[in-house]
């Protein structure tokens, strides 16, 4: 879900929801505002591709908007200074700007925005846009705590903030350390941040220094007359800590950019990237077209790109076979892989280990079976119930039944934060005790023993997952079968809107989904486990973990970084935070008779990473 999770914190974002449907969505019509309707884009400068979850927010820097489905589209419609190439090296986009570290003590980073950096309405991108992002995601200006507000699960609207109180629905451990108002050059093209402490992944923050346009936010929040006045109003509001103005700015920033169909106000579609959203039909498709004001180096060769929403993996393969889409990246199963390979030679099938891993998280603060409050504050009793449930998770059976048919070498993942195959994986897995404690799972006898020790009988666990995701339905059935043998009652709390429900943890007790890495760096770890971490949907809180993770954000010594991660993982296992299950195998189907230049990387935005190099095949 947000850029602080996706990029600025080295990113972990909720992996795309994969839904099940009996048929593919309707064929796109002509873009809004044009006469008549037309079939799906055809011809040398139009292309359709498939994705599995619908776009719903233009602001992925909010908690609500932080999802891969949004991030993919924003990658097309917002420019950045840096991005990951096919070798997972940071490539520079000098046409949008540059960044440089100008001091180590204190850490100072200067960002220079290029003259060619322009919003799609013709307004230059300036330091005001960067100030808005910093001020919002740092939460340094918030006067209301997150537990005092409520976010509507369907619209993302934040409520519970009254008067001149300020609440930006976001958080970045990196920008939080920038306490002082940044230095801005006279021409508004340079902005320099000074950190109160070192921040290990400052470069990931600098790669994407702006989010939504400041002049649009100012117009809607402060009724400014023109773009230049709006930009100055944003700067003044943060510089002077003007709570009356900031309260209005936060309300617009949190709420106004959330939409599931084409908004009536075109200003909400303003972006800085090569494409602009031209039409959005809820749960069906989204079309982007070339931005006429784009002056950067990533100008696309394809004029119009339609992303069709096809949640069901088999339906997306069928759409590829029928020529309705040219690229799809369905959730992989053995059957789906075989179906794609059977479409050769017209379809090329790419396979790789993805950047997403499957896991189960538990909820600690909702009055449910894993919350100490349910047992009069008895933390040890709640921990034993959590441990009992985790003992039942049939991790090896899930691997054997669902993943091995696709990847015979697949194994259980036994770390929260270290990717299997990386140099630190084995040492971290040994240190955290996950495998020694839980093994392959399905340990019904151990679960019964723990429940007996806790003196708890027949606890009910509501499990949230993607309702229309066939693979997760299969996983849930395996979990339900084993857990109920141990004495749990497992309730299906699945939803098609599971991603938007994660922050509403009073409707579930355990969640089953995937985290997708979108950047490389250790600052991806803290948001999941800090007491106030943006990705900590279950309300987990441990003072020692907070201390270690705050140290991690400021530690440049790689050896110490590894030590901290090991210490944190050991505590997470002891606290029965949750369990990891497997690393996703990833497959991409490409119709080479329609498009060339498509490839994929194991980080978000996967196959969209080089969209400007795509070419249609005549």
Q: What is the CATH number of the domain that holds 192?
A: 3.90.76.10
Are residues 314 and 456 located together in one domain of the fold? Answer: no
**Is the bond leading into 605 cis (omega within 30 degrees of zero)?**
yes
Are residues 204 and 321 located together in one domain of the fold? Answer: no
Question: How many Cβ atoms are within 10 Å of 371's Cβ, its own excluded?
Answer: 22
The answer as to whether 391 is a domain residue is yes
81 Cβ contact list (under 8 Å, min separation 6): 92, 93, 94, 96, 97, 98, 99, 111, 206, 207, 208, 209
Q: Which residue range is the domain that position 181 belongs to?
A: 79-257
Are residues 317 and 382 located together in one domain of the fold? Answer: no
The model carries a pTM of 0.78
The answer as to whether 1 is a domain residue is no
Are residues 340 and 363 located together in one domain of the fold? Answer: no
DSSP tag of 594: T
Yes or no: say if 579 and 360 are a contact pair by the CB < 8 Å rule. Answer: yes
Yes or no: say if 277 and 288 are a contact pair by the CB < 8 Å rule. Answer: yes
Alpha carbon distance 386, 391 (integer Å):
9
The answer as to whether 238 is a domain residue is yes
Yes or no: say if 579 and 438 are a contact pair by the CB < 8 Å rule. Answer: yes
Q: What is the CATH number of the domain that holds 63?
A: 3.40.190.10
pLDDT at 593: 97
The answer as to whether 120 is a domain residue is yes
Are residues 159 and 252 located together in one domain of the fold? Answer: yes
Strands 510-517 and 460-464: parallel
Number of domains the chain contains:
3
397 Cβ contact list (under 8 Å, min separation 6): 440, 441, 442, 478, 482
The answer as to whether 9 is a domain residue is no
Alpha carbon of residue 125 to chain centroid: 25
Are residues 60 and 108 located together in one domain of the fold? Answer: no
* pLDDT averages per 10-residue partition of the chain, 618 residues: 28 25 32 34 76 94 90 97 90 97 95 98 98 96 90 89 94 88 98 93 94 98 96 98 98 97 97 98 97 97 97 94 96 86 96 84 97 97 98 96 82 89 87 96 97 97 90 94 98 89 89 81 82 89 94 85 95 98 90 96 90 94
Question: How many Cβ atoms are within 10 Å of 301's Cβ, its own excluded?
Answer: 15
pLDDT at 573: 98
Are residues 521 and 559 located together in one domain of the fold? Answer: yes
Are residues 524 and 606 located together in one domain of the fold? Answer: no
Yes or no: say if 171 and 3 are a contact pair by the CB < 8 Å rule. Answer: no
3-class state of residue 157 by DSSP? coil
Task: Give bridge partners of residue 513 from the DSSP assignment.
Answer: 359
The answer as to whether 269 is a domain residue is no
State the DSSP H helix or E strand holding residue 481, giving kind and residue range, or none if neither.
Answer: helix 470-485
The answer as to whether 126 is a domain residue is yes
Are residues 132 and 236 located together in one domain of the fold? Answer: yes
From the list 584, 40, 24, 15, the residue with the least C-alpha distance to 312 is 24
State the DSSP H helix or E strand holding residue 589, giving kind and residue range, or none if neither.
Answer: strand 578-591
Alpha carbon distance 424, 562 (integer Å):
8
Q: What is the CATH number of the domain that holds 365?
A: 3.10.105.10
Yes or no: say if 68 and 13 are a contact pair by the CB < 8 Å rule. Answer: yes
Are residues 399 and 512 located together in one domain of the fold? Answer: yes
Are residues 403 and 434 located together in one domain of the fold? Answer: yes
Are residues 122 and 202 located together in one domain of the fold? Answer: yes
Q: 75 is written with which tokens?
A: 């990658």
Alpha carbon distance 208, 97 (integer Å):
10
Yes or no: say if 233 and 224 are a contact pair by the CB < 8 Å rule. Answer: yes
The answer as to whether 2 is a domain residue is no
Task: Give bridge partners of residue 356 from the DSSP assignment.
Answer: 516
Yes or no: say if 24 and 310 are a contact pair by the CB < 8 Å rule. Answer: yes
């Amino acid at each position: 879900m947000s850029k602080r999770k996706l990029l600025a914190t080295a990113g972990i974002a909720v992996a795309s929801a994969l839904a099940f449907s009996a048929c593919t969505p309707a064929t796109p019509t002509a873009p809004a505002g044009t006469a008549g309707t037309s079939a799906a884009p055809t011809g040398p400068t139009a292309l359709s591709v498939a994705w599995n979850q619908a776009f719903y927010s233009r602001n992925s820097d909010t908690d609500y908007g932080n999802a891969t489905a949004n991030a993919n589209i924003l990658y097309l419609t917002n420019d950045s200074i840096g991005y990951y190439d096919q070798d997972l090296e940071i490539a520079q986009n000098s046409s949008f700007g540059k960044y440089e570290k100008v001091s180590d003590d204190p850490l100072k980073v200067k960002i220079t925005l290029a003259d060619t950096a322009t919003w799609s309405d013709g307004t230059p991108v300036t330091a005001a846009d960067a100030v808005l992002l910093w001020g919002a995601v740092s939460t340094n200006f918030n006067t209301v705590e997150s537990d005092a507000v409520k976010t509507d699960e369907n619209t993302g609207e934040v409520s519970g903030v009254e008067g001149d109180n300020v609440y930006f629905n976001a958080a970045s451990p990196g920008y939080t350390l920038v306490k002082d108002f940044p230095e801005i050059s006279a021409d508004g093209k340079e902005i320099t941040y000074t950190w109160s402490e070192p921040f290990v992944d400052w470069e990931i923050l600098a790669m994407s220094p702006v989010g939504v346009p400041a002049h649009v936010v100012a117009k809607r929040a402060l009724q400014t007359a023109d773009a230049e006045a709006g930009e100055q109003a944003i700067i003044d509001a943060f510089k002077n800590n003007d709570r009356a103005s900031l309260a209005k700015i936060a309300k617009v920033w949190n709420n106004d950019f959330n939409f599931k169909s084409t908004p009536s106000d075109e200003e909400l579609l303003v972006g800085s990237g090569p494409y602009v959203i031209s039409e959005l039909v809820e749960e069906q498709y989204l079309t982007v077209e070339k931005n006429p004001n784009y002056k950067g180096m990533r100008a696309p060769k394809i004029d119009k790109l339609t992303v069709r929403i096809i949640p069901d993996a088999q339906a997306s393969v069928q759409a590829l076979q029928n020529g309705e889409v040219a690229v799809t990246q369905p959730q992989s199963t053995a059957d789906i892989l075989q179906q794609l390979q059977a479409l050769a030679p017209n379809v090329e099938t790419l396979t790789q280990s993805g950047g997403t891993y499957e896991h189960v998280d538990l909820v600690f603060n909702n009055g449910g079976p894993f919350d100490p409050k349910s047992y009069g504050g008895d933390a040890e009793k709640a921990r034993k119930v959590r441990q009992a449930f985790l003992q039942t998770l049939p991790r090896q059976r899930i691997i054997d039944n669902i993943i091995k048919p696709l990847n015979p070498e697949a194994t259980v993942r036994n770390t929260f934060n270290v990717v299997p195959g990386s140099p630190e994986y084995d040492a971290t897995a040994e240190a955290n005790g996950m495998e020694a404690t839980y093994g392959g799972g399905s340990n019904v006898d151990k679960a019964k023993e723990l429940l007996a020790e806790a003196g708890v009988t027949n606890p009910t666990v509501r499990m949230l997952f993607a309702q229309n995701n066939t693979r997760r339905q299969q996983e849930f059935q395996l979990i339900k079968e084993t857990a109920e043998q141990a004495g749990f009652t497992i309730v299906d709390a699945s939803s098609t809107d599971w991603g938007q429900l994660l922050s509403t943890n009073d409707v579930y007790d355990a969640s089953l989904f995937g985290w997708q890495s979108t950047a490389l760096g250790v600052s991806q770890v803290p948001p999941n486990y800090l007491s106030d971490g943006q990705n900590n949907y279950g309300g987990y809180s441990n003072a020692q973990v907070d201390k270690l993770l705050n140290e991690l954000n400021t530690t440049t010594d790689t050896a110490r970084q590894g030590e901290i991660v090991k210490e944190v993982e050991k505590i997470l296992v002891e606290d029965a935070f949750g369990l990891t299950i497997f690393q996703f195998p990833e497959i991409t189907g490409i119709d080479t008779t329609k498009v060339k230049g498509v490839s994929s990387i194991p980080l978000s935005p996967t196959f969209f990473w080089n969209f400007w190099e795509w070419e249609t095949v005549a």
